[in-house]
Amino acid sequence: MSGRSRQLAFGRAFKRVGAVTAQMDRAEYERLLLVRRQLPFDGRELPEATLADLEGARLRWYLQRATQERGIPADLAAPLAENLKRLGVAAERDGRLVLTTAALLLFGKQPQRFLPYTMVRIARFQGTTPLNFIDRLDCFGTLPEMIDEAERFIKRNTRVAAKITGFERREITEYPYPAVREAIANAVAHRDYDRADVEVRVSVFSDRIEVQSPGRLPAPLTLDTLGEEYALRNRQIA
């Protein structure tokens, strides 16, 4: 028997670590269930969410762009429920529409009402250490909304210089904003959402920007194979 084992007793989950038996917290137990079922987070259903929890305008905007730019089949005249099912972010269960986490994170009115840990926490620190902050912000909303809000924060808290050549004025930013935005987008799209104890964090220092995305590298990636192998986590929202 391994040094770590898990079991249920009296409706509660316990884990065995060496000679000690300890109760598992809810987040750890839910993570275990998801791993056992091999169910990706963005495909997990939220029976308590309804169509009223989605913003129809966001879905229609997404469908229009996805049809034009990515060739995703969609019928803009069809009911929202039908298009959600076509996208694979909703399903019929016992005669009612059940949404997935992907539907809430992409089109939800208040995704954090159901998934509170999916926020982005961002701060501008004084100097090069995370001791004293100058500005900070907790970003809520859909993934695109949080990415936009984080980008605005970065622009507000980094420097822009101007270079004039002849009659032309060119702005030189402290950081390449498109690259920073992509880093934040990758963090929220590919993070390990099974970890409900921590959020994506962005830290702005006087000499760098750090983006922290919860979770380990998705299998089969390792630090040694980065750039050589490819793996995708959260296919529905990536």
Maximal C-alpha separation, the chain: 79
What are the backbone dihedrals phi and psi of residue 175, each rounded to the nearest 5 degrees, phi first? Answer: -135, 150
pLDDT digits (tens, 9 = 90+) for 107-149: 999 999 999 999 999 999 999 999 999 999 999 999 999 999 9
> Which residue in the block uniquely carries the two structure tokens 């305008």?
57
Nearest CA to 216 out of 237, 230, 236, 195 is that of 195
What are residue 17's DSSP bridge partners?
4, 20
Please report the pLDDT score of residue 9 as a whole number.
43
Nearest CA to 154 out of 191, 123, 200 is that of 123
The token pair at 1 is 């028997």
pTM score above 0.85: no
**Euclidean distance between CA atoms 120 and 206, whole angstroms:** 20
Confidence of residue 2 (pLDDT cuts 50, 70, 90): very low
Please report the pLDDT score of residue 231 as a whole number.
62
